[in-house]
Amino acid sequence: MGFIKRAWRGEAKLWVVFWLWGFLFPLLASLLLTFVIAAVPALTIPIGVLWLVYVVWWIVAVWKCSFNVGARFWGYLARIYMCAAPVLIVVGILVGAFSMAGKIITIEKCREQMNAEADAQGIDRKTYAHQHANECLKAQGSDMRLNRVPEGASPEHIKACEAIFEKEAVSRNQNPGAFRALHGDEFQKCVYDQMRAAADTPSSPLIRISLPPEIAQNPAAPACIDQLKAHAEKNGVADVKAYVTQNNEWVIQCVKQAKVQP
């Protein structure tokens, strides 16, 4: 505490204030605070406020201690840096803000476009957006990519997982939308699990997940799967679903043969 007061009054060595407290301490503190915020997200704002106070203290301390050095040349450089640093920070914030604004505008354009397409096709808007968001973003020339849900997922599957993730986000004091975006892989797995839980027949999306899209979407696929199911039941197979999943190659050949039949 004594050093903080002395630095504020301009009585500390410049190299100590500039290098140790301006570079080494922030590096070590940021590593520690990353774990703290991850463990207790509610501390994000208080830590941010304290960090801002620290930055103000450091700038004032460097300015007042600038000439506590052997050659005054280093003091002038330190003060020039203190003048330039806030300007660079502001410029960085503005550039980031414009970039974020551009991304938000792109996302909104895609949202409107996908809503119109979903309404035209009579499809649930949220399900359609989950499945086609990346195509829209790519068409807009954006390098953003959003997490997609598995093919065949119903609105009920997606809503069930959204409810689960919203509850988890609230328990961690985090924004539900941001929480889903940061845990995209887990959200996809949740939707898969919902699809598995809802699957009660071999011709359901569960068994067709491992099929190539052009095969799974072929009208002949359900009939081929049902045929394989009947074969499994006839031969006393205990786990019919596992048997059908393990023999997807047969289903693929069945569908291909059905496609060429007159």
Give percent above pLDDT 90 in the chain.
Answer: 3
Point out the least confidently predicted range of 34-38, 46-50, 136-140, 203-207: 203-207
87-104 pLDDT, tens digit per residue, is 877 777 777 777 767 767
Per-residue pLDDT, 65: 92
**Listed range (104-108, 129-133, 202-206, 237-241) with the worst mean pLDDT:** 202-206
Mean pLDDT value across residues 113-125: 77
Q: Which residue has the higher pLDDT, 101 or 84?
A: 84
Average confidence score pLDDT of the chain = 75
Give tens-digit pLDDT for 144-182.
Answer: 555 555 555 667 777 788 888 888 888 877 777 667 666
**Packing angle, helices 72-121 and 44-64, rounded to 10:** 150
Lowest mean pLDDT among 38-42, 58-62, 204-208, 225-229: 204-208
Per-residue model confidence (pLDDT) at position 144 = 53
| Cα–Cα distances in angstroms (integers) from residue 215 to residues 176, 249, 251, 261, in the given order | 36, 11, 9, 15
Domain boundaries, the chain: 2-100, 148-198, 202-262
Could you report the per-residue pLDDT of 230-245, keeping only the tens digit for each?
A: 887 777 776 777 777 7
